Amino acid sequence: MVQQPQPSPSRPFSELKSEAVTAALSGNWEEAVDLNYRASEQAPEDVGTYNRLATALIELGRFSEARTAANNAITRDPDNKIARKHVDRLSQLDGPVASAPVTSGSRMALRFITDSAKATVTELLNPAPVRILATVSPGQQLFPKDNGVRMDLHTRAGERIGSMEVHIAQRLRKLMASGNEYDFSVAKLSEVALAVLISETKCAPGMSAVVSFPPSLQKSVADIDFDEEPLEDDDDSVEMVEHDDDDTITPEAERSERLKSIMTGRLGGAYGIEDEGLDI
């Protein structure tokens, strides 16, 4: 008598949810989609699952499926802020800029921070129109273009996203001219504003005693507040003079606390974070 293979038992919802979060944090969006679909079968009324699924589908450029996931979340919780943000964002993804899938890069640059003096978060000036910001994702890599007057950040496809604040651009010019290299990635965004994480990826020979970002320039994601209008060049809050260089090495205790602050900031403002920062 031939014994029929037994179907594998369904995995617990909590296990699928945990693995889906891990996949998202690692930028494994295909896996995140699969895990969230399976989690939705286990817990079809769980709003967070549909929000996580919508996030992963947006990252892959599968906007039609993402709309379905977001609508499923809203159907179950009409007042859910994350689902509403997904729907609002997806409503912008109909123009030519959004015709190609989102290419997030999603290296989650925060993972690579080893010293708070080597990284900071800053809001961009004169951000791009809503239809372009709607195609940008947390963790996405951006690329600087410097004409000597302005330092703009662009997507890989060449879309301008916004401009660096003057005093930060001035400091980066000097450090990059000395051989340092930096990574720029989206740290937080809303419908009309965006902040970037700038992190040192290479310290040039002879520059080891020079900090990239002295205390006066160090900020975390939690320090960025999008309640105000987007920053513009003539905004009174923008400091137009260069800071004095503070090139002392940041004390270890301060480094540790600042790193903790950066790492625990609410990365991904447009998506929202739930469950102590795990519901991506």
Give residue limits of the domains in the chain. Answer: 13-91, 109-263
Q: Do domains 13-91 and 109-263 have the same CATH topology?
A: no
pLDDT of residue 231: 61
Distance CA 199, CA 184 (A): 7
The answer as to CATH 3.60.15.10 being correct for domain 109-263 is no
Look over the chain and give the mean of its residue pLDDT values, rounded to a whole number.
75
* Residue of 116 and 192 predicted with greater confidence: 192
The tokens of 68 are what?
């379905």
Q: What is the homologous superfamily of the domain 13-91 according to CATH? A: Tetratricopeptide repeat domain (1.25.40.10)
Residue 277 scores a pLDDT above 70: no
DSSP reduced 3-state for 202: strand
User: What sign results for the dihedral spanned by CA atoms 132, 134, 139, 140?
Assistant: negative
User: What sign results for the dihedral spanned by CA atoms 172, 237, 113, 242?
Assistant: positive
pLDDT of residue 191: 78
pLDDT of residue 22: 83
Residue 229 scores a pLDDT above 80: no
* Residue of 192 and 94 predicted with greater confidence: 192
* Residue of 81 and 50 predicted with greater confidence: 50
| pTM of the predicted model over 0.75 | no
Place of tokens 């003057």: 166
* Residue of 133 and 204 predicted with greater confidence: 204
Q: Which residues of 220-259 are buried (b: 16+ CB within 10 A; e: fewer)?
A: bbeebebeeebbeeeeeeeeeeeeeeeeeebeeeebeebb
Residue 251 scores a pLDDT above 70: no
Return the half-sphere exposure (C-beta side, CA atoms, 13 A cut-off) of residue 116. Answer: 23
Single-letter code of the amino acid located at 149: V
Residue 257 phi/psi, 5-degree rounding, is: -70, -40
Ranking 131-135, 192-196, 221-225 by mean pLDDT, the lowest is: 221-225
Confidence bin at 225 (pLDDT 50/70/90) = confident
What's the whole-number mean pLDDT along residues 142-163?
Answer: 92
Percent of the chain at pLDDT above 70? Answer: 69
pLDDT tens for 171-213 read 999 999 999 999 999 888 887 889 999 999 999 999 988 999 9
Single-letter code of the amino acid located at 21: V
Distance CA 105, CA 78 (A): 32
Counting DSSP H helices and E strands in the chain, the numbers are 8, 6
Confidence bin at 90 (pLDDT 50/70/90) = confident
